Structures are given as C-alpha cells and as structure tokens.
Amino acid sequence: MPQPDTLDPRILGQRIAEARKARGKTQEEVADFLGCSRAAVEKMKGADEQALNAAIDELQRLAEDYRDLEKLMNAPLRFNYPAEVTLTPRIDSAELAEGVALQERQRLGLGDQPVIYLRSTLEWDVGLRIFYWDLPSAIAGMYAYTADLGCCILVNKRHPPERRRVTMLHEYGHLIVDRYKPGIDYLTMAGRKPANERFAESFALNFLMPTSSVRQRFHDIVTTTGNFRVADLRRLSHFYYVSMEAMALRLEQLGLIQKGSAQFLKESKFSPREAAELLCLQPQPVNDFPFPDRYKYLAVAAYERGEIGDSDLAHYLRCDIVTAREIAAATLTSREMEPTGEESAWRLDFAKSLLSATP
C-alpha cells in the first residue's frame, strides 16, 4: 500500500470522500483512512471510539456543506497557503519551524505581536476550514487535505480556548510539511516524537509567541520591576492568549527563566483562572461555534435570499429551527450604543450594494 505522504492528491481525495463510510469499520481501517498508526487509534475504546468515528464522519460532512454553500452563493474560498517544506535529517525540524513561523507571520502581515482573533485570521487570510467538534479528551484535533476541499481541520471543542489555539496552528504546521497526509493528533505521544510532529509543535508555539516579541516583553518587565514573578507570567500568558504552562515552556526554551518552572506550576495546582481574577485580567474573546464565521455568513445569506429554507438552515448551522432563526436574526442585526447610553439595532440587507444606489 502506498505511504500517505506519497499519495497523489486525487487518490487521497477519493479516500477522504469515503469518510462517511468510516463508521462501523475496524480500527485498522479508520487508522488507514487518517494515515495514523493502528496503535494510536486503538487507544480509543467504547464511547470514545464511537465519538472518534463520528468526528471523522462529521469533518467530511462539514467540509462538504461548506463547499455546497460556496457553490450556492458563488463565493469560493480563496486558498492562500504557504509553500510546502521538506524535512531532512540534516536540519533540526524544531529550529526550521521557528523560521517558517516567522516567514508565515510576515507573509500574512502579522508582525510579531499576538494574534487574538486567530481562528478568523486563519480562515479569512489563509483559507483554512476550521471546525470545532466534541472529541475524546485525549485527542487534540485532526487534519485532512484534498484538492477540492482544501485544508480541513477539526479541533476538540472540549479543550480550553488556549489549547484550541495551539491545535489550530499544530494542524496548520502539518499543512506545511504533511500536506497530503491526513492524521489524528493526540495530546501526548509516547517515545521520541517524529520530525513532522516536532515541526508542527514548534511551528505552533513560535507562531503564537514570536521570539523577538517575547524577549522584548520579558526584558521590559524585568527592567521595570527588577524581577519576573508568577504574576508577570500570568499577565504575559494572557497577553499572548496561551496557557501559563505554554508561556513558561517558551520562556524556558529561550533561556529567560529557570528550567522546571513550568513543571513546578503544574505540580503546585496553580489556578490560572483565579489568578486572572485577582489580577483583573479581562476575558479574551472566545468563538465556540462548530463552523467558521464565513460558513455562518454564507448560510444566513442563502437563507435571507430564499435559496434555502428553515430546515436547510438548521442543518447547516447544526441546531434546531428555532435556534437557527435566532442565529440568522442576530447575524442580520447591527447593534450600536448611542451617546445616550441606549442600544439601537437595525436589520442589515446583505444583498444591498455599497457601490451604487441599487442592490
């Protein structure tokens, strides 16, 4: 059988198209479909195994529904993917990933500051199809690519927002080095990680916390206060919208704090949420929708234009008809705060042209 990373994209597309048939297959067949080892998939038992198979099925359904909406509205997704990178034994994959992450930030015009609305940025500026779904807790996410659907990513909705951000970028890293090799990513992996996993992991952390920015922020704190305390670590993790553990590991990696600091925090049962409240840190924005914003806008626009009905809208938005109508109404309504302190609202006409007086 050909290896997943050498498959012709058209052949791989045919394999991904069979995702709906994955339910009921053996663990080995599911592993083959997603290009991962059987030893990994067989960790899933009972309800977790069923949830995994259902998630594989749903990723395919969501991606196809997204494409159907684009065809209906004549609005194809623009793919703006980076060039592929080939890993070689002579180059450390983690070090290579740091340079690639920096190049990618520059390509997207992001500079070296935090990207708070990461999911929207990756969806609109890169053309990734990012979905959230309930997955077994041990799974971070999964990735697949086909020529017609492009890059499709499923992120574990059960995980904290900070973890989901890392997963999005980890799967993005696989697009760069494993474009034609779909797979499942677990939170932990036994033994030494292969080069592609080390690349994806390093790419995610460097994209979220660029070296130049982190060093500058750290030195500003130390220069101002003469120290770097746990409270400073919490503020810094909030600034980059990452977990405290990830922030500590990044600072350790850069040689800015003592090795073992992240492990110490983990063992001390430190509560980042309580720390955020004590430090009066405002909550970061959270998007828990199972589908991208663009997907939602296309569905609502099709509904508003009469291309689809209530039941179709509910299907696309993965909810009941009443909730679907509420989502459509909220999407089509603009709200602003008046100088008097009162809130005003008006319905938007999605079809109205802004280039002329008529739609």
pLDDT-based confidence at 14, cuts 50/70/90?
very low
Nearest to 293 by CA among 66, 110, 59: 66
Q: Provide the pLDDT for residue 12.
A: 41
Report the C-alpha gap between 131 and 121 in whole angstroms: 14
Report the C-alpha gap between 13 and 311 in whole angstroms: 29
**Whether residue 35 has pLDDT greater than 50:** no
Q: What tokens does 231 get?
A: 């409270």
Report the DSSP pairing between strands 139-146 and 183-186.
antiparallel
Report the DSSP pairing between strands 129-133 and 150-156.
parallel
Sort 11 into a burial class: Cβ within 10 Å, 0-12 / 13-18 / 19+: exposed
**Among 11-20, 205-214, 235-244, 301-310, which stretch is predicted with the lowest mean pLDDT?**
11-20
Report the C-alpha gap between 6 and 82 in whole angstroms: 19
Q: What is the mean pLDDT of residues 94-116?
A: 95
Q: Provide the pLDDT for residue 163.
A: 95
Q: What percent of the chain has pLDDT over 70?
A: 80
Q: Provide the pLDDT for residue 7.
A: 39
Report the C-alpha gap between 238 and 259 in whole angstroms: 21
**Whether residue 84 has pLDDT greater than 60:** yes
Which of residues 167 and 276 earns the better pLDDT score?
Answer: 167
**Whether residue 340 has pLDDT greater than 70:** no
Residue-averaged pLDDT of the chain: 84
* pTM for the whole structure: 0.82
**Whether residue 117 has pLDDT greater than 60:** yes
State the sign of the Cα–Cα–Cα–Cα dihedral 94, 121, 327, 287.
positive
| The amino acid at 212 | S
Q: Provide the pLDDT for residue 271.
A: 83
State the alpha helices, DSSP H only, in 209-320: 211-225, 230-240, 244-253, 261-267, 272-278, 293-304, 310-317
| The amino acid at 11 | I
Three-class SS state of 186: strand
Q: Each residue of 292-326: b (16+ CB within 10 Å) or e? A: bebbbbbbbbbbbeeebeeebbbbbbbeeeeebbe
Three-class SS state of 155: strand
Nearest to 132 by CA among 299, 243, 286: 286
Nearest to 249 by CA among 226, 235, 269, 233: 233
CB atoms within 10 A of CB 42: 14
Report the C-alpha gap between 29 and 26 in whole angstroms: 5
Q: Provide the pLDDT for residue 23.
A: 40
Q: What is the CA radius of gyration of the chain?
A: 22
**Whether residue 345 has pLDDT greater than 90:** no
19: Cα within 13 Å, side-chain hemisphere: 27
Q: What is the mean pLDDT of residues 91-98?
A: 94
Q: Provide the pLDDT for residue 71.
A: 95
Q: Provide the pLDDT for residue 273.
A: 84
**Whether residue 6 has pLDDT greater than 50:** no
Render pLDDT for 133-155 as a digit per residue (tens, 0 to 9): 999 898 999 999 988 899 999 99
Q: Provide the pLDDT for residue 2.
A: 36
Report the C-alpha gap between 44 and 138 in whole angstroms: 9
Q: Provide the pLDDT for residue 187.
A: 84
pLDDT-based confidence at 103, cuts 50/70/90?
very high
User: CA angle at residue 290 from 289 to 296, to 5 degrees?
Assistant: 70
For the chain, domain boundaries: 4-208, 211-278, 293-347
| The amino acid at 16 | I
Report the C-alpha gap between 258 and 230 in whole angstroms: 12
**Whether residue 308 has pLDDT greater than 70:** yes
Q: Provide the pLDDT for residue 188.
A: 79
Widest distance between CA atoms in the chain: 69
CB atoms within 10 A of CB 41: 21
Q: Provide the pLDDT for residue 276.
A: 85
